[in-house]
Structures are given as C-alpha cells and as structure tokens.
Amino acid sequence: MAAATLYGQQPPTTGAQYWSTDPNLDCSSAHALAIQVPLASGGMGTSCLVSGTFAWLAAGGAWSTSIRATAPASGAIGVNYGFWQDGQRISLDTTSGNGTVPASGNLVSFALNANQPSEIRLLGATSSAPQYGTTQTGFVYAVFFCPDAATCATLVPQLLFSFAPVKPWSLSVPILWDSSYSSFQPKGILPGWSASGISDATHLISFAVCNQSRTAATFIVRVFDSNGSLVGQSTTPSIPVLGTVGLLLTDLIRTPLPAGILKVVIDGGSNVSSVAFFQFDGDSATSLQVAPELPRGSTL
Amino acid sequence: MKSLYFLGLIGLLAAALHAQPPTTGTVWWSTTPIDCSSVDNVPAGSSYTISLPSGATGYYCYVSGTFPWLAAGSGYVTALRVAAPASGAVGVDYSFYDTGGNSQNLDTTLAGGSSPASGNDVNFVLSVNQPAEVDLFGAQGDAPNYSNLKTGSVFAQFYCPNANTCLTVLPQLIYSAPPTISLSVPIAWDGLEWTQWSAEGIDDGGAHRMSLVIYNQAKVAAIYTVRVYDSTGAQLGIGTTPAIAGYSTVTGEAGTYGDLLSNIVKTSLPSGILKVLVDGGSNNSTVLMLQGNGRAIATLQVGYDSAPSGGSTSTSALQTSPKRAPSKPRHISNPVTK
C-alpha cells in the first residue's frame, strides 16, 4: 500500500486523546508504526498506527454495509476509514450514531474514548441519494491511531454487509491487516489463500479478491475435490492496483463441480492479495475462514 | 484446551480416549527430524515422534484448539470443515463434548457418507489439498429425526509433517438451521485463551439481538461478568453468567455456555451500537458473539480486551508469532530434540 496516500488525514485532536505526549513512544512491541500527530492545541503528539483492508463493501441497491469498531479498555483510538474502488477513492454517503442525515465523503475520520463503540453505516454513492438504488462495491482501508502499543495490538474492527430484509444475509468481513501486529492481528496480505466450501445446486461459493500488489494482476483460481484432485482452474479478470473484484466461483469455473466439499485456492504467484470467501446455502449465508496458502518451502 | 493441570493425572487415560490419526495411509509425519518450534511449544529444532507400524520413527508437529459451540439436532446441523494445505498432509482428530465438558456421543458422517457413525471422536487423514467435511446430526439414538438439540464444544487436533502445514491449516465450524441460519464459528487455538474479550453489536430488544458463548478455559468452575457500554463509552449494564464448569478431570475439556445477551444483562439497553465486554477476572476463556438482525444472523469479530479496572494489556501476551498449542499437549508423547 502507498502509505502516505492511504492513511489520509489524521483524526480530530479535539476530543478523545488517541496520542501520547511522549515523543519517544515505543510502538515496537505491537510491531506498529510510530507517527507524529500535530495537535489542534499546538504541539505534537505521537501515536502508534496499525492498518488493514476490508476486502469488500456493498452499499445501495438493497445492500447495506456497517463498519464497527470499539476502543479497548486500555485507551482511546483514532480511526480513519477510506473508501476505494478500482484504484480510486470513492465518495459514499454515511451515517453514524443516531444521525439520520448522511455525510458524504471518501474518508470518515473520528476518535473514540476507551470502551466507546462506533458504527458507521454506508448507504451508497453520494450521486444516487436519496434512494441509493445503485449498488456500490469496493473496499475499505482502515487506519487506527493509538496512544500506546497495547491498545493498537488488541483492535479487532469488523465490517458487516447485509441484503436483509430481501434475503436473510448478514455477512461478516474480517479486517486483513497490513502486517502481523499481534496474535489477533495476523498479516492479511499474501500471495495465496484458500477456503473450503460447497458449490452445487443449492450451495454457492463467492469471494472477493483485493489486489494488494503494485501492478494490475490476474489471480489463478484452483478447485480441488474431496480427494484432493484438481477439478477446475480459471483466472480472474485483471484487477487494478488497489482494486477489488467480487465473483461467484461459478462465474469462473464453468464446468460442473463435484458434489461435496471443495478446496478453493486463490494464487497470485508473485502478486499479493487480500481475500474474503462466502458460502451461500439456500437462503442462508455465512463467511468462510480463509487460510494462508504458502508455496512449498516458504514461510509466513 | 487440554490443560497442563491434567498431565500428571490422566495422561495415560487420555491417550486411550483420543487415538491419533491412522498411520496406515496418507503420510502426515516426516521420516526425518523436523523443527516445530515456530508453531508448537517444543524446544528449537525438535518435534514430536511416533512409532510407525514398520518400526521406524515418524516426526510431526501438532496444533490444537477448541470450537466453543456446536448445535446438532432439532433442526440444527453442524459441519466441521478443513483442508490440507499445499505444503503437506494433515492428520485430524475431532472430539465432542457437552456443555459441561463431558464426552458426548454424536452421529456423524465424513466425506458425504450416507450412514452416520456414532461416537465421541472422529479422526482421519487428508492428503495435500484434500478438503473434508464432518457433519454432526445429533445424539446417538435420536436418528433419523434427531429431534433433540445437542450443544457443546469440539476439541480439534492437527498433526503435520512440517511446521508450515500446522501454521496454515485453518478449520472452520459452521452450524446451520436451514433455510435461514448459517453461522461460522472460528477455532480458538490453544495458547490464545485470554481473560477479557469484547465485541460491538446492537441489542434493541426488537429485530437486533446479540447472543454470546463463553467457553471456560480455567481449571475451576467460573462465573463471568458481562458489561455493556453505550455509544459514549459509559457502562450502562452489567450481569453475570451461571457458573461454567472448569476442565473436567476425566476429559480435560471444560464447560461452555451460550445465551442471549438480554438473559445475562437484564437492564433495558439503548438502540444504538454497544460494546459488550466479557470479563473473567483472572480466568481465561474463549468467547463467541453473534448478531441477529431479523432473520439474518452473523458472527461478530471478538477482540482481546482488558479489565475495566484499568489494568494494562500485556503486549507480551500478544506475540506476533503465536503458538497454536498449549505449553504441553497431553495427548501426545514428549518432544524429541535432534
């Protein structure tokens, strides 16, 4: 990620104190960056910084997305959510708290006190208000600022996107961290990923691939049957840098797949990605656990 | 989690309860010494060993963890999914427990088999890239309708021929009640249990409801405090769970408890976003939280937190290369050093 571009503006410094006054703040125990924060009151604070990607958002056209985060008991946090599509920032209408009047922008920035939860609701493209009849998709890049390493090391934000009440689909998208910050924040940018699912007459597998490499890239999709035999292979369309694409497995693998459990691998070769998988089972749907898929001989 | 507490007490019994995966098919071990120290709590350069039918020695890495909730019967089916990574074969062992931590016999099928087998343990081996699904239908004897709901937990063990394979294997539990409910339960790897957990959700007493599962990772029965904070960060509700059983001296597994948030915290809650903190004091746990939104339900991300008394989080507990095993698993032999 082009850090300077993606981190965007800093959260407001007039409320919750997500920075330290210690200019030598040590963020290394959480493997986080330490950055300077110019304060509205004058002077300079220092924050630890962790960042990651929600690989999919869907807002408008009966889809809704909400992003939830809470400051840990150990400290306040600053939060930036940036909205991206095909390598560009996109402007979305959002609401938060009990607010019903949408705000428009390609970045939402705020600060939370210790134990304070937040929910940002994405309604759709600003241009499609107030009905939001068009579905916008893309990804969210999230940046968190903390007054100490331990606070950053415990953050676990969440994106939920839903098609309710049309269908009872409420799908969780975990954040995919830019680096391994702590036990609960494993690195979410790797060359290969896999998940186990079923794709038959009543079950569908879908996935989102966010290209985290420095050039546009295609990704190979391989499907293995319950014997571990390769039964299907295809390639995604070219995905631009900082672009994400959502696909049904059957969009790519046109040949019938065997009944039963399948392993689906997303292989970028030398190109890294962040991936989310979903399983649809009739009217129900859930997120799938996505595992790193390492080439032989390589390590995490 | 299988606690060290039981190592000296029932080590031999445990070996009989949970057989290692078969050694007559796919090779889930290495024939040469390997280093498992990046994933398991073994000395650098060492691994576990097994005596093979041929008389030779096999070397393997081991990881383990708990799915804190299962639901089978009365319309629910639980599916356990896992695939072997490209880096190596995997031996798998799943064992089933009730909400008190006692072994539980369930009817299961593996690989789409049509005739359920009954038992409290399923083990098998997967070749490279091979996926598997084990379906849990309900109690033994309840077939074919399985009208009684059985809940509890699943303990999962994985045996690998190299550290990378054990580092990347990632199983999943999905429990569903067709046609509308399908919920994912992530595994809680041993070594990642903790004392306080939190998630954010909405519980307005109407369409939005939260529920939670607490798996006690303590040696003794424990009561957990659940605190709710509103959108300003102010605590506005508190409740406690019933006592949840600690590790059984027979099975080594502990109890698990699931309920609606509103059954634990009786205070009327506001309609906006809430933070829910599960506080075990000094008792470790694993926590799962769910968000209901009408007919749609999703699993919430649960984060590591700290006590509201202001105790700081130890970053040493947040190591970036976590082991996926307790300090000493009790089901397998001692590690060897090369």
What is the reported pLDDT for A158?
96
Flag if B184 and A260 touch (Cβ within 8 Å).
Answer: no
Q: Residue-wise pLDDT tens for chain B (338 aa)?
A: 443 333 222 223 333 344 689 998 899 999 999 999 988 888 899 999 999 999 999 999 999 999 999 999 999 999 999 999 999 999 999 999 999 999 999 999 997 677 889 999 999 999 999 999 999 999 989 999 999 999 999 999 999 999 999 999 999 999 999 888 899 999 999 988 999 999 999 999 888 999 999 999 999 999 999 999 999 999 999 999 999 999 988 998 999 999 999 999 999 998 899 999 999 999 999 999 999 988 889 999 999 898 876 554 554 445 545 566 655 444 454 455 44
Interface test with A, best of B135, B209, B238, B273 (most A CBs within 10 A): B273
Domain-wise residue ranges, chain A: 3-177, 192-292
For the record, the structure tokens of B171 come out as 């199983």
The 10s digit of each residue's pLDDT in A76-99 is: 999 999 999 999 999 999 999 877
Closest approach of B249 to chain A, Cα-based (Å): 29
Residues of A in contact with B83 (CB under 8 A): 194-196, 224, 261, 263, 291
Residues of B in contact with A112 (CB under 8 A): 233
Describe chain B by its helix, strand, coil percentages, rounded to 5.
10, 45, 50
- Three-state secondary-structure class, residue B8: helix
Fold of the domain spanning B4-191: Immunoglobulin-like (2.60.40)
Provide the ipTM.
Answer: 0.90
What is the reported pLDDT for B336?
53
Domain-wise residue ranges, chain B: 4-191, 196-304
Enumerate the β-bridge partners of residue B175: B78, B183
Interface test with A, best of B37, B274, B290, B313 (most A CBs within 10 A): B313
Number of H helices, E strands in chain B: 3, 22
What is the reported pLDDT for A182?
86
What is the reported pLDDT for A195?
97
The 10s digit of each residue's pLDDT in B11-26 is: 233 333 446 899 988 9
Could you confirm whether domain B196-304 is CATH 3.30.1490.20?
A: no
Flag if A168 and B180 touch (Cβ within 8 Å).
Answer: yes
* Cα A86–Cα A92–Cα A94 angle in degrees, nearest 5: 145
What CATH architecture does domain A192-292 belong to?
Sandwich (2.60)
Closest approach of B306 to chain A, Cα-based (Å): 6
Q: Distance of CA B243 to CAs B213, B225, B279, B305, B314, Å?
A: 13, 11, 13, 21, 27
Residues of A in contact with B184 (CB under 8 A): 172, 286-289
**Which residue of A30, A181, A194 is in closest CB contact with B83?**
A194
Flag if A182 and B318 touch (Cβ within 8 Å).
Answer: yes
Closest approach of A158 to chain B, Cα-based (Å): 6
pLDDT higher than 90, residue A175: yes
Task: Find out whether B73 and B139 touch, Cβ atoms under 8 Å.
Answer: yes
* Residue whose tokens read 């098998």: B124
What is the reported pLDDT for A199?
96
The 10s digit of each residue's pLDDT in A218-267 is: 999 999 999 999 999 999 999 999 999 999 999 999 989 999 999 999 99
Interface test with B, best of A170, A179, A231, A275 (most B CBs within 10 A): A170
CB count within 10 Å of CB B74 equals 15
What is the reported pLDDT for B307?
83
Element (H, E) at A261: strand A261-267
- Three-state secondary-structure class, residue A7: helix
pLDDT higher than 80, residue A45: yes
What is the reported pLDDT for A299?
67
Q: With bands split at pLDDT 50, 70 and 90, how would you rate the model's confidence at A29?
A: confident
Flag if B303 and A184 touch (Cβ within 8 Å).
Answer: yes
- Three-state secondary-structure class, residue A269: coil
Q: For residue B82, what is the nearest residue in chain A, using CA coordinates? A: A196
Closest approach of A42 to chain B, Cα-based (Å): 26
Buried-exposed string B96-129: b where 16+ CB fall within 10 A, e elsewhere: bbbbbbbbbebbbbbeeeeebeebbbbbbbbbbb
The pTM is what? Answer: 0.90
pLDDT top residue among A2 and B228? B228
Flag if A151 and B313 touch (Cβ within 8 Å).
Answer: yes
Task: Find out whether A9 and A108 touch, Cβ atoms under 8 Å.
Answer: no
Closest approach of A235 to chain B, Cα-based (Å): 19
Task: Find out whether B288 and B68 touch, Cβ atoms under 8 Å.
Answer: yes
Flag if A98 and B308 touch (Cβ within 8 Å).
Answer: no
Residues of B in contact with A220 (CB under 8 A): none
